[in-house]
Copies of this chain bind each other. A is one copy, B any other.
């Protein structure tokens, strides 16, 4: 294998492959072929092989990929081999749903601290975390948290992001429908659910 810059699109797909491996590991097959994995996920086999080839040979011709080894490799590439601790800011409708969602665990994420500014919510315990006052957010340093999840109203998102960056968070998942401007050292991914819904009608045959 020669040197290759890894395409962003490949990185985008790796979690999908990982999901496929983790969810279909009930099959208890030791090996899985690119054809089989592609079938499960609804993608092309050669896309999968190409993506993996950027990182060196995982598989064995004639056999496929060892599920356990492949899973570990992808986790390592995505830096999910070490667990990550996240903080959630804003425990409203969406925040509460995220907090209750078990789906982050399979990727090794742990929501270890949550904040809100509503005095009625502060102190409440949800699952095994207690909602803290957002005023104390700036003191988060040293609690080994490297990810931030923003679920506050749009007007407060940038402000919260600034604090998160100050306390050393390296990645932000933002649910507010707005741009967030931070140091280039920090990666921000914004999910705007309404925007995704908005492009659905375009593809629908006009009734």
Q: Please give the residue numbers on chain A whose beta carbons come within 8 Å of chain B beta carbons, in ascending order.
A: 11-12, 14-16, 18-19, 23, 40-42, 77-80, 84, 86, 92-94, 96-98, 100-101, 103-104, 106-107, 109, 146-147, 149, 154, 170-173, 177-179, 181, 185, 187, 189, 191-207
Among candidates B80, B170, B172, residue contacting A198 with C-beta atoms closer than 8 Å: B80
Measured between beta carbons, the chain B residues less than 8 angstroms from A172 are 200
A200 touches B94 (CB 8 A): no
CB-defined contacts of A19 to chain B, threshold 8 Å:
177, 192, 195
This protein's copies in its complex? 2
Asked whether, in the complex, the Cβ of A93 is within 8 Å of the Cβ of B100, the reply is yes
**What is the chain B residue whose CB lies nearest that of A86?**
B197
A42 adjacent to B100 (CB under 8 Å)? no
Find the B residue at minimum CB distance from A100: B93
Q: Are A197 and B147 in contact (CB under 8 A)?
A: yes
Known A-B contacts A170-B207, A192-B19, A194-B103; A199 and B78 likewise in contact (beta carbons under 8 Å): yes
Q: Point out the residues of chain B lying under 8 angstroms from A195, CB to CB.
A: 15-16, 19
Chain B min CB distance to A5 (Å): 13
